[in-house]
Amino acid sequence: MKEALKQIEQNAVAELERCGDLKELENLRVRFLGKKGELTAILKQMGQLSPEERPVVGQLANEVRADIEAELEKRIGELKRAEEEARIKAERIDVTMPGKAVKLGQKHPLTKVLDEIKEIFLGMGFSVAEGPEVEYDYYNFEALNIPKNHPARDTQDTFYINDNIVLRTQTSPVQVRTMEKQKPPIRVISPGRVYRSDAVDATHSPLFHQIEGLVVDKGITMADLKGTLEVFVKKLYGEEAQVRFRPHHFPFTEPSAELDFMCFACHGEGCRLCKGEGWIEILGCGMVHPKVLRECGIDPEVYSGFAFGMGLERIVMRRYNIDDLRLFYENDLRFLSQF
């Protein structure tokens, strides 16, 4: 049995010296010193020894265990130091190497122009209002004087979730919700995403952005609407920008108008950009229909108001002379980095 114990010690020391990692080292510890290990198996046979041999063999077994444990701790220390040195070498930083330039992001052109528009209207006393993009049919249509049988619904190309819930086709529902919650005076703009079932092409997308504005107070007239929008256009496109108002029809405003500004490329002469018109349509507007005010709990005999709405993408396209709306959504850095 003495020879077996010495053989176990020799084998253990030899294999510990060859061991290359901590996981293998743990396996060796279990193999030699564990409850089912080789040393324990030998000690279980001590009952077969004479009373005189047991103390001698027991002392030798303890010495063997102590030697193996000492060698094990030594090898653990060596392997940990080796791992640490390898990690330090791998993670070493050469401070003499040139640094890598960090590429900074920038605002998307839509966000950039939207922020400018917000600042213009905030400077005129407006606040910014937001609302849900998944909207009730009532807020998207009926409260805006567009009942279920109204022909204007045929031109909206609406995404219906069910008969009563839609993806909003405009941000006008935000104006209705504002009038329900807030008593006049009201001066808000409502920017946000809107959805229409349009085929994707150079000027259409099923997802785009609108900015709508609403003013309700005593004594509001068409002159206030014209003055506000003229200031907006001049702030956005420069003091030399010229605008005109054309009669139009919207169910939720009466009277209604389209606002055009003189083409900045040909100055009214007619060119490819303005399709020979000399003028470019920028937004729709008008005086809030009395039915809309009444539906929102505002007395049209006491208060009046105006509203307007514009497509952000088309504003940006005209701002930067971009001819394809799809460029805004393709995430092509060659395009986006120009702004």
In a domain, 215, yes or no: yes
263 & 137 share domain: yes
* Higher-scoring residue by pLDDT: 326, 85: 326
Least confident of 146-160, 209-223, 248-262: 146-160
DSSP per residue over 217-248, as a string?
A: ETT--HHHHHHHHHHHHHHHH-TT--EEEEEE
Contact of 248 with 258, CB cutoff 8 Å: yes
Determine the Cα–Cα distance for residues 39 and 5; give it in Å rounded to an integer: 7
Query: Do residue 207 and residue 299 come from a single domain?
Result: yes
What is the β-pairing status of strands 186-195 and 127-128?
parallel
Please report whether residue 102 resides in a domain.
no
**In terms of domains, do 36 and 167 share one?**
no
The model's pLDDT over 303-313, given as tens digits with 9 standing for 90+, comes to: 999 999 999 99
Pairwise pLDDT comparison (339 vs 220), residue with the higher score = 220
Same domain for 300 and 328, yes or no, is: yes
Q: Token digits for 317? A: 């396209």
Domain boundary among 90, 121, 142: 90
Greater model confidence, 38 or 228: 228
pLDDT tens digits for 176-187?
A: 999 999 999 999
Query: pLDDT at residue 286 above 80?
Result: yes
Instruction: With a cut of 80, say whether residue 8 has pLDDT above it.
Output: no
Where is average pLDDT lowest: 6-20, 97-111, 185-199, 279-293?
6-20
Peptide bond into 185 cis (omega under 30): yes
- 261: exposed, middle or buried (Cβ count in 10 Å: 0-12, 13-18, 19+): buried
Q: Give me the pLDDT at residue 43, please.
A: 66
Residue 319 and residue 231 share a domain = yes
Tell me the C-alpha distance between 301 and 305, whole Å. 11
Tokens of 263: 């083409």
Do 306 and 212 touch, CB atoms closer than 8 A? Answer: no
Domain shared by 154 and 298, yes or no: yes
Beta strands in the chain (DSSP E): 127-128, 134-136, 165-167, 186-195, 207-217, 243-250, 253-262, 279-288, 304-311
**Per-residue pLDDT tens for 235-268?**
988 888 888 999 999 989 999 999 988 877 777 7
Regarding whether 269 and 152 lie in a shared domain, the answer is: yes
Count of domains observed in the chain:
2
User: Is residue 10 situated within a structural domain?
Assistant: yes
Q: Which of 42, 59, 90 is the last residue of a domain?
A: 90
- Looking up residue 143, the CATH number of its domain turns out to be 3.30.930.10
The predicted pLDDT at position 79 comes to 78
Three-state SS string across 313-338, please?
A: HHHHHHHHCCCCHHHHHCCCHHHHCC
Tell me the C-alpha distance between 4 and 23, whole Å.
Answer: 26
Q: Are both 55 and 129 inside the same structural domain?
A: no
Q: How far apart are CA 12 and CA 19, in angstroms?
A: 10
Q: Are residues 165 and 258 in the same domain?
A: yes
How do beta strands 134-136 and 165-167 pair? antiparallel
101 occurs within a structural domain: no
Q: Please indicate, yes or no, if residue 171 is contained in any of the structural domains.
A: yes
Domain co-membership, 285 together with 141: yes
What percent of the chain clears pLDDT 90, i.e. is strictly above it? 45
Q: What is the pTM of this model?
A: 0.67
**Residue 275 sits in the same domain as residue 197:** yes
Range of the domain at 220: 109-336
Q: How confident is the model at residue 48 (pLDDT cuts 50, 70, 90)?
A: low
Residue 169, domain member (yes or no)? yes
215 vs 320, which has greater pLDDT?
215
Residue 28 clears pLDDT 80, i.e. is over it = no
Same domain, 260 and 176: yes
- Residue 134: pLDDT over 70: yes
* 97: in domain: no
- Say if 96 falls within a structural domain: no
